Structure 1
């Protein structure tokens, strides 16, 4: 008798909440698309400052901006941290800075689309390594084929830039694993904010050295600050809100589109055109990730 009475109530509740959830879901989807576009646009705008500040100077400013925003939002209680909390924060800060520096250095050499695609191998490897499914093994092979296409020998190949992209991928994978440790030991976003502050402090001498060696122009500084806001502050805050309204699986699928967004933004803003083979390689990495996520049961 209880089950019979509960069914109409559940149906009524679903009917009442579905219209409210639908606009929120649509807004969340739009926010995810905007977050990815903001991230890649920020990287492209930052690249415009490379002739003046170089990748090191742009990354230094980006770290300052990210730290400022996260410290304001999270307000970490740094004095309350014990050593078991500090050591993963210190490692996370080092990995965070190295990831951005190697990525931006790769962008300067091989372009935004290829650099982001190679960096994306980091989270893709983490996702596939934990699986024992044959389908995921096939996705790994497909991604490997894409990488081979992107890194194939040719006269114009910049292997140093590709190597930097792969180092960024390793850093992103380490960033994910360290974030899990930090998230378990420090509540909320306090760990991420502390790590960003550590990274900003580490880049302070480099930023001063770059400014003394190459006096920055107002335009270059504005581009670097915009990179920090668009690639760090906006995606972080947007993703924080988005994950409250969409499943993690849906979020992951949208993340997989970032290499394509990077290639398009690099073409539009930086004039970095890609050939058919490069697009095929990027597509293989994106499809491998999308298929793996879409077929995973949560």
Structure 2
């Protein structure tokens, strides 16, 4: 599951383009920060799965969102005045998609291993990228991803995976695509990370009744609260901070390519923390989806550069 810091890619790209070019160390630094954030997210997810027996899937989502909202409010201190009704509508929609994405994903990893779950979830942004590009070559990437999904299902169907877990993962992917859209809109309407902090509050408030219904008094047990705080730090606060630093010097398309590696990182986290081993077919399936995601991102970037070059040529001729 993608971290909450994946908003404002346009701004990130502009800032990265304006940043001075440095040596190899300067270029690798932001990449290392993004990868560290991805590792933090996926290992946070693995910790969350280990906490589910005592807090429930909805309970751990509630704790993660609540702690993350408190930290972001304390750090960002967003202004509540001076925003139009449309601004609030956007931030509420962003919060709803964030809640849906987290809730569906955690329901998925409660039923199927993390590697396959994140792989299926990544299909959401991949489909969004394919439709946004509208280039024939992206059909190749889509076909490659479908081959990965076919392998992930054991060569036809999903007999090896819990059907409900698969459905939840695909739903989380759809919400991730919506998250990307509303994240960009929120970033344009609110300064810095103010919109993100407010959307996190919306998500936490929406999930609080669900967490209470499922877990009740278990949510406030000291051990559960401590583990919930750990999950919030690993899955939201730490990766957001790392990526916020990285995006100041990293092009948005590079960031998107690095995000495509998350299924592999999730598989490693699931193996190390939860002892979730992958079959050869599942490992190949994850690799195919990663390659498809990277290819779709690079194709979209190439299309954007082509448009920019054409515009510059027309301007020069004029």
Which of residues 170, 181, 186 is equivalent to 2:185? 181
1:21 is displaced (CA, Å) by: 4.6
Partner of 2:176: 172
Cα distance in 2 for residues equivalent to 1:71 and 1:100: 19
Where does 1:139-154 land on structure 2 (aligned, <5 Å)? 139-151=141-153, 152-153=156-157
Whether 1:196 aligns to 2:200 is yes
Q: What does 1:219-234 correspond to in 2, within 5 Å?
A: 219-234=223-238
Further displaced range: 137-146 or 184-193: 184-193
Matched, 1:40 2:42: yes
CA distance change for structure 1 residues 156 and 292 in 2, over 3 Å: closer, same or farther? closer
Cα deviations across residues 76-109 of structure 1 (Å, max 9, x unaligned)?
1123222111111111111101110110110010
Matches for 1:12-27 after TM superposition, within 5 Å: 20-27=22-29
| Whole-angstrom CA distance in 1 between matches of 2:193 and 2:259 | 20
- Matched with 2:57 is 55
- Residue 166 of structure 1: CA displacement? 0.5
Q: Name the CA distance, whole Å, in 1 between partners of 2:159 and 2:204.
A: 38
Whether contact under 8 Å (2:218, 2:224) holds in the other structure is no
Question: Unpaired segments of 5 or more residues in structure 2?
Answer: 1-19, 306-318
The alignment covers a number of residue pairs equal to 281
Structure 1 pair 212–133 and aligned structure 2 pair: CA distance change class (3 A)? closer
* Equivalent residue number for residue 286 of structure 1: 290
User: 1:134-161 CA distances to partner (integer Å, 9 max, x unpaired)?
Assistant: 3211001111111122233354431111
Question: Could you tell me whether the CA contact under 8 Å between 1:53 and 1:216 is conserved in 2?
Answer: no
Match of 1:73 in 2: 75
The structure with the larger Rg is 1
**TM-score between the two structures when normalised by the length of structure 1:** 0.88
TM-score, length basis structure 2: 0.83
Residue 215 of structure 1, CA deviation = 6.1
**Structure-2 change in CA distance of 1:25 and 1:201 (3 Å):** same
Asked if 1 retains the 8 angstrom alpha-carbon contact of 2:59 and 2:219, the reply is: no
C-alpha distance in structure 2 between counterparts of 1:220 and 1:187, whole Å: 34
RMSD: 1.8
Query: Shift in Å at residue 203 of structure 1?
Result: 2.1
Question: Secondary structure in 1 aligned to 2:30?
Answer: helix
Alignment-derived partner of residue 119 in structure 1: 121
- Find the counterpart in structure 2 of residue 109 from structure 1: 111
Q: What does residue 253 of structure 2 align with?
A: 249
* Separation in 2, partners of 1:216, 1:74: 26
How far apart are residue 41 of structure 1 and its match? 0.4
2 CA distance for matches of 1:230 and 1:163? 26
Matches of 2:66 and 2:34, distance apart in 1? 24
Equivalent-residue separation in structure 2 for 1:127 and 1:69 (angstroms): 32
Could you say which residue in structure 2 is the equivalent of 1:30?
Answer: 32
Aligned residues of 1:110 and 1:158 also touching (Cα < 8 A): yes
Residues 76 and 218 of structure 1: is their aligned pair in 2 closer, same or farther, counting only changes over 3 Å?
A: same
Deviation per residue, 1:212-243 (Å, 9 max, x gap): 35466544332222111111111111111101
Do 1:45 and 1:224's aligned partners in 2 also have CA atoms closer than 8 Å?
Answer: no
